[in-house]
Amino acid sequence: MMLLLFGPPGVGKGTQADLLQKQYHLLKFSMGDILREEVARQSELGLEAEGYMKQGKLVPDKLILEIAEDYIKKHRSENLLFDGFPRNLAQAAALEKKMQALGLQLDLAIELVIAQETIIQRLALRRYCSRCGAIYNLQSAPPRQPGICDHCAGTLLQRPDDNEETIRRRLQTYETETRPLAEFYQARNCYCRVDASGNPQQVYQNLIQCLNAHH
Ligand code: AP5
């Protein structure tokens, strides 16, 4: 199975990808996580990507496609779940071409949708574990001990792009660059839209319904 999740920042892509990954034995490919690891390592790629990420802009396609194509080639025999890739039409077309060349096919592109005010609230309260990457929310999914990861006791931090100004820019970028993916996948008959306004389990049930309806 090949799935992809897209939606505005903070809609819950990472949270849902973790749930789907466990139940369906999918290998999650999160472009945001890969880029953040590169930034943390201060690699050449990380140094180049960092400025774009801080400004809430997309990292240039050339860098993104190199990462994605390598990954897909390496993991072509596994069931993949794309989180945060593709993010514009050029990336979607490149992904399609790469998959065709490898004899692979996308089963479903799922768009998570939600009101803008909820997004800003969710992101302002998000924390992540600096050691294992687990995602928390001070309101909807708090850690047992403040500031400490439940899974590995790592320190919880706030992402540098989770400030109001950058969030608004990321939302704009989403509207202009990423939303057109809905039409792209609709035209290929592999698109589904899911209401992401409920709690994580409710959203997950909506996702499962959508998956079942398309299988
Ligand atoms: P990326 O890391 O992909 O960021 P994003 O798309 O902005 O999405 P987020 O990770 O912020 O949110 P999410 O939807 O995963 O929500 P989450 O589950 O954490 O990308 C970062 C940057 O990298 C981009 O801005 C860009 O610069 C660059 N980049 C990445 N991919 C690229 C590409 N393909 N091309 C070019 N550049 C690229 O949830 C958010 C919070 O809400 C959490 O606190 C969570 O606990 C909580 N929450 C989740 N679900 C619920 C719920 N149902 N109810 C209540 N709370 C919830």
pLDDT in tens, 57-79: 999 999 999 999 999 999 999 99
Task: Give yes or no for residue 215 having a pLDDT over 80.
Answer: no
pLDDT in tens, 92-139: 999 999 999 999 999 999 999 999 989 998 999 999 999 999 999 999
At 170 the pLDDT is 94
Beta bridge partners, 189, equal none
What 3-state class would DSSP assign to 131? coil
Beta pairing class for 108-113 and 27-30 = unpaired
Nearest CA to ligand 1 atom 6: 9
Q: Which of 21, 30, 45, 59 to mutate to test the pocket of ligand 1 (most atoms within 8 A of CB)?
A: 59
Beta pairing class for 126-129 and 80-83 = unpaired
At 154 the pLDDT is 97
Kindly report the three-state secondary structure assignment for every residue of 61-89.
HHHHHHHHHHHHHHCCCCCEEEECCCCCH
- The DSSP output letter for 156 is E
d(C-alpha 151, C-alpha 129), whole Å: 9
Closest CA to 62 of 31, 81, 102, 90: 90
Average pLDDT over residues 154-182: 95
Q: Which of 21, 35, 66, 129 to mutate to test the pocket of ligand 1 (most atoms within 8 A of CB)?
A: 35
Average pLDDT over residues 4-8: 97
Taking the centre of ligand 1 as the mean of its atom positions, its distance from the CA of residue 212, in whole angstroms, is 25
Taking the centre of ligand 1 as the mean of its atom positions, its distance from the CA of residue 25, in whole angstroms, is 21
At 43 the pLDDT is 96
At 39 the pLDDT is 94
pLDDT in tens, 24-51: 999 999 999 999 999 999 999 999 999 9
Percent of the chain surpassing pLDDT 90: 94
pLDDT in tens, 170-212: 999 999 999 999 999 999 999 999 999 999 999 999 999 999 9
Task: Give yes or no for residue 146 having a pLDDT over 80.
Answer: yes
Q: Judge if the beta carbon of residue 92 lies within 6 A of ligand 1.
A: no
At 214 the pLDDT is 86
